[in-house]
Amino acid sequence: MAPTAGAEHVLDRDEMDPGVRALLRRKAEKVAAHATYSPIDTADVENLLRDFFADESPRSTVRDVQRMGGGASKEQFLFSLDDAPYVLRLDPIETAAETDRRREFEVLNTYSTWVPAPRAIWLDESGSRLGQPAMIMNFVAGVTKPTAPATGPNVTGLGTSFPQDLRAKLAPQFVHTLADLHRVDWRELDLPSFHAPAPGTTQAALWQVNWMSRVWRDDHVQDSPVVAVVDRWLRRHLPVCESPVMVHGDYRTGNFLFDESTGRITAILDWEWAHLGDHHEDLGWMTQRLYMTHQGGTDLVCGLLERDELIEAYERDSGRKVDRATLRWYEIYNAYKSMAITLATSVKAARDGANHQDALLSWLGPAGYRFATELCAMLEEEG
């Protein structure tokens, strides 16, 4: 892949999505002011919810509050409001992925009309009412992986295998839903917190590199020469994005729910990374080796379909072309992003006692070395 011609701006590390710049500034202020974080008690959550709904819906009754498992970023609680189930997502001080609750709220409210997703209903952006920045959305039933026999490790989405009949049902929906997401014209929607990179330029790619470069710079606990080499390569080979789309940012197995009896996908989850950018970014995320499953002598993307199968199905369903060189750039970028999340932010949050999932975040840390190894191999292939 040849270096981007005339890209004098590639070293401008301050050129960034304005919303992300504000998010990173808030994060720095929050981290500087924090003490050690303790998980919030379920009884305290119940009291906060009762006070919240005393204003929002005075005649409603909060009951059956319980902590939900999983997640390396948010504290999540299931509760009933007048017998209807809802999910509360609360921000700890630091997370594996620092993101914006308002953006997540907006994208869920808008895109749940177009793709299967929970609907966000209440938002406490500052945390002034629920103690921490928070969002409440409706509960959607489903599982993230087959329940029997147990498959894959405990962290959902890594090494997940599906029986052939279930895979045949899920794979087409998985691809078609992503195509639907990218097909929606975001310009016609109410998304005031989102900022679009200029079409026909390399700005979409540069914004992403600058985001992760800043995350690594702020959060790393140990220097890595790999990061410097990869950062330089990415900047020299920025691809052009002709037409920005809504990028999910974490589209993979483990982040969708399905009904096991029918094989129907019921919801796409974890929209916190959503932003406007290049459609290749979502494809480059799911095709990382971490989300591959080796099954029956074949490597399956997210345990569902072969890489070439995925690309052909996506092109057919979306009407968009997949440029292999651009896809490769985003595969390298996403490995860089994953290295920053695991080896920098997760390790720092665990070290500083700033998250309720310190054991899981510590477990994620060594995965960063796997991404570093893969980055070295991919760059060697690029020459």
| pTM summary value | 0.92
What pLDDT was estimated at residue 2?
A: 42
Task: State the first-to-last Cα distance of the chain, in angstroms, to the nearest integer.
Answer: 9
Give 212-230 as a DSSP string: HHHHHHHH-SS--HHHHHH
pLDDT tens-place values along the chain, 383 residues long: 544 444 456 778 989 999 999 989 988 887 777 666 667 889 999 999 999 999 999 999 999 999 987 655 688 999 999 999 999 998 876 666 778 999 999 999 999 999 999 999 999 999 999 988 999 999 999 999 998 754 445 455 677 889 999 999 999 999 999 999 999 999 999 999 999 999 999 999 999 999 999 999 999 988 999 999 999 999 999 999 999 999 999 999 999 999 999 999 999 999 999 999 999 999 999 999 888 898 878 899 999 999 999 999 999 999 999 999 999 999 999 999 999 998 988 878 777 766 666 666 776 778 888 899 999 999 999 97
Cα 94 to Cα 222: distance, rounded to the nearest angstrom:
18
CATH class of the domain defined by 13-382: alpha beta
* pLDDT tens digits, 63-80: 999 998 765 568 899 999
Q: Where do the structural domains in the chain lie, given as residue ranges?
A: 13-382
Rg from Cα positions in the chain: 20
Handedness of CA 369, 98, 249, 216 (dihedral sign): negative
Whole-number Cα distances in Å, 106 to 19, 272, 347, 361, 365: 13, 10, 30, 28, 31
Burial label, 169 (beta-carbon count in 10 A; 0-12, 13-18, 19+): middle
For residues 221-238, b (16+ Cβ closer than 10 Å) or e, as one string?
A: eeebebbeebbebbbebb
The single-letter code of the amino acid at 131 is G
CB atoms within 10 A of CB 353: 15
- Sequential DSSP letters for 295-347: ETTEEEETTTB-HHHHHHHHHHHH-----HHHHHHHHHHHHHHHHIIIIIIIH
